[in-house]
Amino acid sequence: MDLVHDNPGHPGLTRAQVIAQNYISFVYLGDACFKTIRKCAPTGSVTKRCCRFLTDNPVRAFRNAVAHANWKYKSDFSGLIFWSRKGNDPTEEPSRFEVSQVDLGFWQALARCVAYVAYTEATNKDESQN
């Protein structure tokens, strides 16, 4: 990520960063971390609420759009447009959604924060058991 910030004006690097951030934040971490934590976290906890937010719509719809390459930049680059089905019916036409850059930045930051805390805690538990 630092490489992109150190080399502004290279659209290919910026696009690669966007793709990597979105895939890791929503597809990989959603499947590898947030769904499991959501099931295990205490009812009413901030952790459970964060994981619910990160695995429910509209973030869930965005996750599916990223996983299936159904998104593009808004014409003014102020956010992303994406398409996703509201349910699991494969015959359903995908619906069009938009997410602003501000909201997307929040979703990404929350995903990284929750994942960082989860993996830090898992590592701490492993070390304390040795």
Q: Rounded to an integer, what distance in angstroms lies between the CA atom of residue 125 and that of residue 28?
A: 23
- Write out pLDDT tens, residues 36-69: 999 999 999 999 999 999 999 999 999 999 999 9
Residue 89: pLDDT band (50, 70, 90) is confident
The amino acid sitting at 44 is G
Q: Looking at residue 84, what is its pLDDT?
A: 94
Please give the model's pTM, rounded to 2 decimal places. 0.84
Q: Looking at residue 126, what is its pLDDT?
A: 61
3 state DSSP class of 79: strand
